[in-house]
Amino acid sequence: MTETTGRGPTGLVLPTYRPDDDRTHPPLLSPEYGSTVLRAPTRPLVLLPQRLTEITGPLLGAERLGPLDHDLTRQHDGEPLGQRIHVHGRVRDGDGRPVPDTLVEIWQPNASGRYRHAVDNWPAPLDPNFTGVGRVITDADGRYRFVTIQPGAYPWRNHLNAWRPAHIHFSLFGRAFTQRLVTQMYFPGDPLFFQDPIFNSIPDPQARQRLVSRYDHTVSEPEWALGFEFDIVLRGRDSTPFEDGDDDDD
Amino acid sequence: MTERTGSTPSQTVGPYLHLGLLWPDGPDVVPAGTPGEIWVRGQVFDGAGAPVVDALVESWQADPDGRFDHPDDPRGARRSTVVGFRGFGRSPTDASGRYALRTVKPGPLPGPDGTVEAPHLNLSVFARGLLHRLVTRLYFPDEPAGNEADPVLASIDPDRRATLVARGAPDGFHFDIHLQGEHETVFFAV
């Protein structure tokens, strides 16, 4: 049923995941982003064949979710300050298949660009009504939706006058260890992209644009919130045909 | 089959990952008090030898019978005989760069062509300054015969193989992760 390659254990057949284009992900050593210099491994990565451990992964269920984890504007007694937004999208693999039942975790700063985190001490106000943490599970079509606040940009010390474009951190498990992804969603038209070494670390400019959400007026809610759509693509499965030439296409 | 779409690029977790990625029970691959429970502990170091205090280490592993409760295990998904076994753990590093995972030793796994993979954990390392997660494997020092026959370990330069083998510790095993330097851990492309 699954299209697969790779002789598995004792003749069993494993699904495998094809490698991403080498211009999709940032090089680990991206010196413009200063923190990579002492942290990026200096030796080449060793290819790990995809075996049972790699083609399986944690399937984390709804027991990880609290009732308001999808709505970051309702997690406190009062309302957070800032522009309410809906963020929605689909999680698919590189062949267009939806990835259902996968845990999506997000975290972000508040409207003034400050994180509720002990290490964040830049002098912008904390919002007592905003934690900035959300979790959802994708539905059968791979869809997810959050309600939150438009995050603010904030300064950091990477280079002179360095500012992170507004962003929301996303973490996804997918279906297999190979599909695990942590990324960031950005907002369309942000004037800060040009000077951000994290966004620009992605070699392929088209791949970079996949991190920019789309304003979605159909999801904006009258007199309440703006809508943004952010689709996420996890690695596709390898589609090398079976040995007998059976081209499995489902 | 259908359209092929490029993947969404990876980005760093940044310095504030603790906000979104910590679970109170994150380090518990198995619940406290599980028979055979071990702790896997270690430190993460950067290229200057300094502890990485803002990292997250995630683990994924088979159960002690070498099984996964996952539909893509071609032997069939099977609930572990270890009650509460999740297979997955996540631990932040503390102010000394230390992480800790409560787990049980996985069993060996069948590999291709009659080979057997020695018991191992897959680990992902996330941190500020890592634009993509790093993947490594932890093998156990009390499995010398299995490690000797393991096809993945065998593919590693013998001089570097030891970076993938944990050390024994009073309550389990100790496994340091060196992002760079003389003892740089072997990291994998998956």
Please indicate whether residue A88 is annotated as part of the active site. Answer: no
Per-residue pLDDT averaged across B80-101, rounded? Answer: 98
Whether the CB-CB separation of B164 and B188 falls below 8 Å is answered with no
**Angle at the Cα of A111 from the Cα atoms of A106 and A116, rounded to 5 degrees:** 60
**Angle at the Cα of B135 from the Cα atoms of B131 and B137, rounded to 5 degrees:** 160
Tell me the average pLDDT of chain B. 96
Per-residue pLDDT averaged across A96-125, rounded? Answer: 96
DSSP string of A116-159, one letter each residue: SSTT---SS---TT---EEEEE--TTSEEEEEEEPPPPEEESSS
Long-range contacts of A155-164 (CB under 8 A, 24+ apart): A155/A122, A158/A33, A158/A34, A158/A35, A158/A197, A159/A32, A159/A34, A159/A195, A159/A197, A161/A195, A162/A195, A162/A196, A163/A192, A163/A195, A163/A196, A164/A113, A164/A192, A164/A196, A164/A198
CB atoms within 10 A of CB A153: 17
Q: Is the pLDDT of residue A202 over 80?
A: yes
Please indicate whether residue A169 is annotated as part of the active site. Answer: yes
Per-residue pLDDT averaged across B129-156, rounded? Answer: 97
**Angle at the Cα of B71 from the Cα atoms of A24 and B62, rounded to 5 degrees:** 85
**Best to test chain B binding among A39, A51, A116 (most B CBs inside 10 Å):** A39
Using 50, 70 and 90 to split pLDDT, how confident is the model at A157? very high
Q: In chain B, positions 66-125, which contact chain A (CB-CB < 8 Å)?
A: 68-70, 72-75, 86-88, 109-114, 117, 120, 122, 124
C-beta atoms of B180 and A38 within 8 A: yes
What is the distance between the alpha carbons of residues B166 and B3, in angstroms, rounded to a whole number? Answer: 43
Q: What percentage of chain B reaches a pLDDT higher than 90? A: 95
What is the distance between the alpha carbons of residues B168 and B166, in angstroms, rounded to a whole number? Answer: 7
Please indicate whether residue A164 is annotated as part of the active site. Answer: yes
Please indicate whether residue A215 is annotated as part of the active site. Answer: no
Q: Is the pLDDT of residue A55 over 50?
A: yes
Q: What percentage of chain A reaches a pLDDT higher than 70? A: 90
pLDDT at B3: 66
Tell me the average pLDDT of chain A. 92
3-state SS assignment for residue A200 = helix
Q: Is the pLDDT of residue A10 over 60?
A: no
Which residues in chain A are closer than 8 Å to B6, comparing Cβ atoms? Answer: 20-21, 24, 94, 204, 206-207, 210, 233
Active-site hit among A33, A115, A144, A186:
A115
> In this structure, what are the phi and psi dihedrals at residue A54, rounded to the nearest 5 degrees?
-80, -30
3-state SS assignment for residue A38 = coil
For residue range B33-62, what is the model confidence (pLDDT) as tens digits?
999 999 999 999 999 999 999 999 999 999
pLDDT at A12: 67
Using 50, 70 and 90 to split pLDDT, how confident is the model at B2? low
3-state SS assignment for residue A174 = coil
pLDDT at A239: 60
Determine how β-strand A103-107 pairs with β-strand A167-172: antiparallel
Residue owning tokens 């999506």: A104
Using 50, 70 and 90 to split pLDDT, how confident is the model at A247? very low
ipTM of the complex: 0.97
Using 50, 70 and 90 to split pLDDT, how confident is the model at B176? very high
Active-site hit among A17, A33, A144, A154:
A154
